[in-house]
Each structure stands twice: as structure tokens, then as C-alpha cells.
């Protein structure tokens, strides 16, 4: 099916959302058991961990790790926000830098200024958005980001979103309680789909939409390690306890250019595969054999592919063994443990 479709339904009894473009699954969100990213707690910090640069805090959902020491008094209540999904058996990660995300606006308490997404290159539109934000928020908010979706949105919708985010932020940050408590639950898959998949699309929802639009078959393919690539090459994505191992093979092609062709095809596909599988952390890519001089081209193609990916990923570089290493935010629940 041609076009862009947002599907809101369920997968294995859990709330889920899928984004299809021209019949291909481009994004997938499935609710998990762990606290959702974006959840805000009133927490109680413990004592600093010597040599670790951080400390554990107590939340209603259990222990969480905060990579921060400065300005924190053990035992004094504080607000923290879940930043991603925790690895099995490990504490969830939290931050004191709160963000209140809407479809058009993000309120950032403690980070002053009104900023417009760099993807909005029309200076006149950017100036108009800043003026609108000042009119709506005034001096009530000390930090605001206007998202890329503002470029084509109606001003009334943007103003309403700014006002809603400002109100929620003010309510949460004015908290004066003392015991660990849930203050704001993070968005579920349906809420995140509305918030983040803002480009024009058809919306379809209901209990059977995943089966009707081929999402279930796509998920079945994601549960297999092998990803077929053009020309007979293949990509294998295999999570382990320590890292995600990615292996690239040329297949039956034994020509001198086979290695580079397979690597480029695999690297273009890699962000999508990691996104759909919900994989993050350390990513180690074992490329097909290629000349050392071709590494720069592979990196260039990878960085271009990552620009279109919503999950924050850092390209760390090449190891002495010729592996390419990435560090990726754990922004999604891994599909295999959903």
C-alpha cells in the first residue's frame, strides 16, 4: 500500500503503534513492563558511589541510577526523569534535567531561552514562532523548544500545545512533597506516535489493524537475526548481554567490490533495524572485507542514515580489529523481551 500510515493497536496484549511507509514498516512502539521514558518521580537520593560519578535514588518503581553528584544532598527529595529502558537486571537511568514533550513544543525547566528547531530554515517562520511562544508563555516558562512539526502546523494548535506543556511543567516542578512518588507517567506508544510521528499520514486504529496491514509479518521477520540485503548480501543483528553484534556478509558475490557494496547496503539499513528491534547500548559492527580507504565512505553513509533516525546514536570509530563501534540510547523496549 502506497503512502504513510500510522496504525494504533495492540501487539500481544500490549498497547502498540506502527508507522508504515509504502507498505514497509518504518517504526514500531510497543509498551513494556518497565517505567516509560519520560516518567517523572519525586525521588530520594542515596550517598554518592565512590569512583562512579553518580548515585542511586529511590523511586516508587525501585532503585534508579543518576549520573550526577554536584548539588545533590543525600536524603533530600528531588525530581528525576526516566531517560530510557533499563537493561534486564540493571537499575533504570534517570536525570534531573526535566523535559516536558508535546507535539509542537518541549518545555525545558532550567534551560533558559526560546529555541526553534534547526530544521526550520525559513527565518521569517522561525521569528514568527518565537513571537508566538513569547505571547503564549511569556515569563511563565524559562526554557522552550519549538519542534520541527511547527513549520507546517496551525498557530492555534502550536499555541495550545505550548500552553498545555507549560501548565504540566509548572504543576510538576512546584511539587513540595517529601516521599518518593510518581508525578507524571511517560507517554505510551499511542501518545508517542501522536507526539513524534507528526508528518502527514493516514490514521487507522482498532484491534486488528496490525494483521490487516502486514505489521505482524514484519515483526516476525524482526525476531530473526538475518536481514536479507540486495545482491544476495545479508546483515545479522544479534543482541548479547554485553553488546549488540552486527555481522555483514557478501553472500555468493566474490567480486572485488562485493565487500563495499554489502557494507554500504547494510549500513543504510542498520538504523532502521536497530530502531524496530528496540536495541541500544554498545553496537559493534563487523563489516565485510573492504579496503581501508573505504572506511570513510562507510562512515559518511552511516552518519547520513542516522540523521533520519530519531534515536540518539554516536559513531565512536574503528577498533584495531576493524570493527565499527556505536553507542546508542536505549530509547525503546527491546522487541525480544516485550
Indicate the pLDDT class of residue 70, thresholds 50, 70 and 90. confident
User: Rounded to whole angstroms, how far apart are CA atoms 68 and 74?
Assistant: 12
Give me the sign of the Cα torsion angle 155, 161, 164, 167: negative
Q: Which residues, 6+ apart, have CB-to-CB distance to 152 below 8 Å?
A: none
* 281 and 269 assigned to the same domain: yes
Of 160-164, 281-285, 331-335, which gets the smallest average pLDDT?
A: 331-335
Residue 235's pLDDT is: 96
Distance from the Cα of residue 211 to its chain's centroid: 25
| Contact indicator for 17, 193 with CB cutoff of 8 Å | yes
For residue 56, being part of any structural domain is answered with: yes
Domain that holds residue 91: 40-97
Q: How many residues are given for the chain? A: 338
Stated pTM of the model: 0.90
| Contact indicator for 95, 83 with CB cutoff of 8 Å | yes
For residue 157, being part of any structural domain is answered with: yes
* 86 and 132 assigned to the same domain: no
| Contact indicator for 298, 307 with CB cutoff of 8 Å | no
Q: Is 328 left (phi over 0), alpha (psi -120 to 50) or beta?
A: beta
Residue 129 has pLDDT above 60, yes or no: yes
Output the CA torsion 275→186→15→219 (10° steps). 10
| Contact indicator for 332, 29 with CB cutoff of 8 Å | yes
Distance from the Cα of residue 176 to its chain's centroid: 31
User: Rounded to whole angstroms, how far apart are CA atoms 117 and 312?
Assistant: 16
Helix (H) or strand (E) holding 101: strand 100-101
Looking at the DSSP bridge assignments, the partners of residue 205 are 8
For residue 184, being part of any structural domain is answered with: no
Mean pLDDT over 243-247 rounds to: 97
Residue 338 has pLDDT above 50, yes or no: no
For residue 126, being part of any structural domain is answered with: yes
* 45 and 10 assigned to the same domain: no
| Contact indicator for 248, 286 with CB cutoff of 8 Å | yes
User: Residue 298: which of 238, 337, 227, 246 has the closest Cα?
Assistant: 246
For residue 16, being part of any structural domain is answered with: yes
Summarize pLDDT for 259-308 with one digit per residue, the tens: 999 999 999 999 999 999 999 999 999 999 999 999 999 999 999 999 99
User: Residue 330: which of 48, 37, 119 has the closest Cα?
Assistant: 37
User: Residue 105: which of 146, 148, 149 has the closest Cα?
Assistant: 146
Task: Please report, for the chain, how many H helices and E strands are present, in that order.
Answer: 7, 20
| Contact indicator for 116, 124 with CB cutoff of 8 Å | no
* 310 and 264 assigned to the same domain: yes
Q: 181, exposed or middle or buried, with CB in 10 Å at 0-12, 13-18, 19+?
A: middle
* 112 and 81 assigned to the same domain: no
* 209 and 228 assigned to the same domain: no
Residue 160's pLDDT is: 97
* 278 and 251 assigned to the same domain: yes
Summarize pLDDT for 53-67 with one digit per residue, the tens: 899 999 999 999 999
Summarize pLDDT for 7-54 with one digit per residue, the tens: 999 999 999 999 999 999 999 999 988 899 999 999 999 988 777 789
Residue 231's pLDDT is: 87
Q: What is the number of structural domains in the chain? A: 4
| Contact indicator for 265, 302 with CB cutoff of 8 Å | no
User: Residue 294: which of 273, 332, 267 has the closest Cα?
Assistant: 267
For residue 118, being part of any structural domain is answered with: yes
For residue 117, being part of any structural domain is answered with: yes
Other residues' Cβ atoms within 10 Å of the Cβ of residue 66: 22
* 105 and 201 assigned to the same domain: no
Mean pLDDT over 103-117 rounds to: 92
DSSP string, 20-41: EETTEEEEEEE--SSPPTT-EE
* 92 and 105 assigned to the same domain: no
Residue 90's pLDDT is: 82
Output the CA torsion 155→161→163→164 (10° steps). 160
* 15 and 113 assigned to the same domain: no
Q: Is 45 left (phi over 0), alpha (psi -120 to 50) or beta?
A: beta
Indicate the pLDDT class of residue 1, thresholds 50, 70 and 90. low
* 168 and 227 assigned to the same domain: no
CATH (domain of 62): 2.40.50
CATH (domain of 306): 3.40.630
| Contact indicator for 243, 237 with CB cutoff of 8 Å | no
Amino acid at each position: 500500500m502506497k503512502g504513510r500510515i500510522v496504525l494504533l493497536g495492540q501487539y500481544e496484549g500490549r498497547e502498540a503503534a506502527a508507522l508504515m511507509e509504502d507498505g514497509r514498516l518504518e517504526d514500531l512502539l510497543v509498551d513494556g513492563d518497565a517505567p516509560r521514558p519520560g516518567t517523572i518521580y519525586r525521588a530520594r537520593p542515596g550517598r554518592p558511589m565512590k569512583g562512579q560519578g553518580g548515585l542511586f535514588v529511590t523511586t516508587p518503581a525501585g532503585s534508579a541510577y543518576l549520573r550526577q553528584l554536584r548539588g545533590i544532598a543525600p536524603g533530600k527529595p528531588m525530581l528525576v526523569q526516566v531517560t530510557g529502558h533499563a537493561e534486564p537486571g540493571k537499575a533504570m537511568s534517570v536525570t534531573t534535567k526535566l523535559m516536558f514533550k508535546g507535539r509542537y513544543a518541549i518545555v525545558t525547566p532550567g534551560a533558559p531561552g526560546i529555541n526553534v528547531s534547526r530544521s526550520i530554515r525559513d527565518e521569517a517562520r522561525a521569528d514568527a514562532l518565537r513571537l508566538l511562544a513569547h505571547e503564549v508563555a511569556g515569563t511563565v516558562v524559562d526554557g522552550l523548544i519549538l519542534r520541527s512539526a511547527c513549520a507546517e502546523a496551525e498557530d492555534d494548535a502550536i499555541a495550545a500545545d505550548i500552553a498545555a506543556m507549560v501548565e504540566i511543567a509548572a504543576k510538576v516542578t512546584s511539587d513540595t512533597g517529601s516521599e518518593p512518588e510518581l508525578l507524571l507517567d511517560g507517554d505510551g506508544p499511542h501518545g508517542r506516535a501522536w507526539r513524534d510521528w507528526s508528518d502527514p499520514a493516514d490514521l487507522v486504529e482498532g484491534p486488528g489493524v496490525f494483521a490487516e496491514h502486514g505489521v505482524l509479518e514484519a515483526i516476525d521477520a524482526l525476531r530473526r537475526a538475518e536481514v536479507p540485503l540486495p545482491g544476495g548480501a545479508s546483515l545479522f543483528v544479534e543482541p548479547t548481554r554485553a553488546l549488540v553484534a552486527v555481522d555483514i556478509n557478501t553472500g555468493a558475490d566474490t567480486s572485488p567490490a562485493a565487500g563495499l557494496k554489502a557494507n554500504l547496503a547494510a549500513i543504510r539499513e542498520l538504523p532502521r533495524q536497530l530502531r524496530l528491534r528496540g536495541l541500544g547500548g554498545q553496537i559493534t559492527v563487523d563489516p565485510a572485507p573492504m579496503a581501508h580507504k573505504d572506511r570513510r565512505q562507510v562512515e559518511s553513509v552511516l552518519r547520513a542514515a542516522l540523521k533520519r533516525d530519531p534515536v540518539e546514536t554516536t559513531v565512536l570509530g574503528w577498533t584495531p580489529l576493524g570493527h565499527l563501534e556505536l553507542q546508542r540510547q536505549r530509547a525503546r523496549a527491546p522487541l525480544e523481551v516485550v
